[in-house]
Structure 1
């Protein structure tokens, strides 16, 4: 009887069971606060690059919120081996931003969703054979890729801090003032406060920047007043277009993010459950991400991935009860079904987004550096990192450097530094000879 009662009531430190609602609500909101910027911002970035009108911007944000909720629920409660069964938040991810911005800017938003379908299928296949494929992605390779992702996002943040491309006041002192105040608040709260305030530093920084923008009169609420209170978005609203070079780029990124998911799921079990993840949990988690990405594409949602910032919360507070994450998913779902809420989020000035997200992008970069430094920096490993980043960042920094090749080559290798850095790191890791210390390091990892 005692075992059954524990299983039914449960505590926040047990993965199963139903804890007290007064504990679930604040802990669930904590995860919402940590993830909300990551859920919404990629949609706003894509909307700006692809020139969507205000109504379609709202829809893109709506779907991002809804897909985050559904993807998280699938991870919590697997269906026929699809889902990890672990307490994780899954949502639209910054990791894909450099690639989807390049695709959207060149081929339009429909091409993003076509490539996303192919990428989701690739992720599902990786999930099926995750055990065999892990050897191609040791920390030195994965860390190099994540480091490159962070570097490639810096120009995006600076462009937004200056006001956003196409803004007639681009680079104005007003935009930079708003961006730097937002940035300053985020830095102060991150390093000089504790607890929930520190956790919500990015969100609070955006609120401060938003209030200042309101005082300066640069925000319009016309789209909010025109939006309804409830709306279900029809499938295929943005269309789907299959473009081969975009598909190649996206498949590569999905494979890399599948490997990153292994790290996040491992951190969740080690930090919250004191054990290594089981193969079926890793496989199910990656397959679920592939499935939700494919479904998301049909409804106009962007690629999904595990949220490392939420994994970090688990490793700190060790709260793993599924009901906490169910509550967070419900909040995302309700918010996504209310167009007025979604349209309100689209009114955030680009300078505010830039001031807040540069901190996020720096965290991504430093995550990559941490992974790289977890391996011994032997001459071989430093060559892998240095050459991969040099080619990836170097080629994309010089417009027209691949002009003599067919157009698809420029699209795949010249539009996103992440793709070429990934391929270079994988190839160098396979062909460069290992010395004795490299072998020992590989066994430890």
Structure 2
């Protein structure tokens, strides 16, 4: 099927299918972040538009590439879920401008670090990557429950209507994801949110005002929310997040290489991560966050067997076009928070499930690995639950230590070096290959 000639119409439909598969995940990040950092509904509409636009640009940069950038594999780029909790932490203190400034700098760091990243990978064995994924999943779950109850601060928080809508969406997703096959299974999150919103409309909790008021067309504007600001704590936070995303994307690259029967070299990985860094800089300029190669689209490539990268180019163009029409973005805004919360539970829960599967490959007969997970995950959960414990610290220091993802990752990283060292066997066994095997297992 890889070598089969595909007509322009089929190419468009295949590209659109990739957009449908990633759309729910792509718009979920701005939907989660916006209310948490105090953006208005109108600002959220534009944030989603910028999200779609930058996803398209980052995908084209990655897939079309050039001599020194781009993996040139069917890798669709989307805003990574890894950014959610750190962006909320930064945005709550320094607003969206602080987030954008940190994204810009982290993109520059990734672009430079791509040259040396193959040497850094040995410091991120599975025990660390699994711990980080577990920390992210656990720290995001309260966001899901808050939304399921109607959104923190809402007048009807915890109402029977909100909880019922969240439960309906969750149960519908579980049934659909269990019974459906192929394409319908791949977009089960999106379908469950659509059905949940339709049901919510009968309860009178769907507001179409933003769709009516949103403009049909809007040229994407650099620094729409204002000029970026730069704080050391925010920059350090997003840089660490960007490094985690580099590991995540590297795993997806190797998975795509496996599916495409292409053996990737260190140079290929450098080009792919360099494109990711440049994409983050562009994303910062156009008011959005860091991207990674979406794992669900890697799964779609494996299921269909179509590895033609022009399909992803079509998907990238579709995303750019969608990003220019705020009315399309506004449709996502009408999803009630309770429905969104119901869909978030399995989305974030799957991160926990993924982490546990990764943990299964870690040698827990070694007390050092037990200690790494115990302290790293334990500190992350504790600081996330009692973040006010650090209010007396200087602002910059407090920003770092009260972020569960950052403090947990740092603790696991340091403990791994102290307790395990960097032995040659671990260095030769690439952690991204462990990620590759996991991604491929998900597609079986």
Alignment-derived partner of residue 269 in structure 1: 257
Alignment-derived partner of residue 247 in structure 1: 235
Which one of the candidate residues 191, 194, 197 is aligned to 1:210? 197
User: Any conservation in 2 of the 1:376–1:441 contact (CA below 8 Å)?
Assistant: no
CA distance in 2, matches of 1:33, 1:121: 30
- Determine if the alignment matches structure 1 residue 382 to structure 2 residue 382: no
- Determine if the alignment matches structure 1 residue 104 to structure 2 residue 91: yes
Which one of the candidate residues 408, 418, 433 is aligned to 1:431? 418
Larger displacement relative to structure 2 (403-412 or 251-260): 403-412
1:309-354 deviation digits (Å, cap 9, x = unpaired) = 1112223333211122122222212211111111121111111111
Alignment-derived partner of residue 5 in structure 1: none
Alignment-derived partner of residue 160 in structure 1: 147
Measured after TM superposition, the shift of residue 88 of structure 1 is 0.6
Alignment-derived partner of residue 291 in structure 1: 278
Alignment-derived partner of residue 314 in structure 1: 301
Residues 115-126 of structure 1 mapped to structure 2, 5 A cutoff: 115-126=102-113
Residues 376 and 164 of structure 1: CA distance in aligned 2, closer, same or farther (over 3 Å): same
1:359-379 deviation digits (Å, cap 9, x = unpaired) = 111122222222222232232
Residues 295 and 439 of structure 1: CA distance in aligned 2, closer, same or farther (over 3 Å): closer
Aligned partner of residue 319 in structure 1, secondary structure: coil
1:187-225 deviation digits (Å, cap 9, x = unpaired) = 111112211111111011001111011111112222212
Aligned partner of residue 432 in structure 1, secondary structure: helix
CA distance in 1, matches of 2:420, 2:426: 14
User: Any conservation in 1 of the 2:400–2:406 contact (CA below 8 Å)?
Assistant: yes
Alignment RMSD (CA, Å): 1.8
Which one of the candidate residues 327, 334, 338 is aligned to 1:351? 338
User: Any conservation in 2 of the 1:202–1:356 contact (CA below 8 Å)?
Assistant: yes
Structure 1: give runs of 5+ residues left out of the alignment.
1-11
- Determine if the alignment matches structure 1 residue 68 to structure 2 residue 60: no
Residues 172 and 63 of structure 1: CA distance in aligned 2, closer, same or farther (over 3 Å): same
1:374-408 deviation digits (Å, cap 9, x = unpaired) = 23223222221121101111122113222342221
Structure 2: give runs of 5+ residues left out of the alignment.
431-444
Residues 130 and 248 of structure 1: CA distance in aligned 2, closer, same or farther (over 3 Å): same
Measured after TM superposition, the shift of residue 172 of structure 1 is 0.6
Which one of the candidate residues 206, 211, 214 is aligned to 1:227? 214
TM-score under structure 2 normalisation?
A: 0.92
Residues 48 and 259 of structure 1: CA distance in aligned 2, closer, same or farther (over 3 Å): same
Residues matched between the structures, number: 428
CA distance in 2, matches of 1:153, 1:375: 24
Measured after TM superposition, the shift of residue 439 of structure 1 is 6.3
User: Any conservation in 1 of the 2:122–2:426 contact (CA below 8 Å)?
Assistant: no
Alignment-derived partner of residue 7 in structure 1: none
TM-score under structure 1 normalisation?
A: 0.92
Which one of the candidate residues 343, 346, 357 is aligned to 1:370? 357
Which one of the candidate residues 84, 87, 109 is aligned to 2:74? 87
Aligned partner of residue 78 in structure 2, secondary structure: strand
Measured after TM superposition, the shift of residue 22 of structure 1 is 5.1
Which one of the candidate residues 15, 18, 36 is aligned to 1:49? 36
Alignment-derived partner of residue 282 in structure 1: 269
Alignment-derived partner of residue 184 in structure 1: 171
User: Any conservation in 1 of the 2:80–2:245 contact (CA below 8 Å)?
Assistant: no
Alignment-derived partner of residue 8 in structure 1: none
Alignment-derived partner of residue 328 in structure 1: 315
Which one of the candidate residues 11, 15, 20 is aligned to 1:33? 20
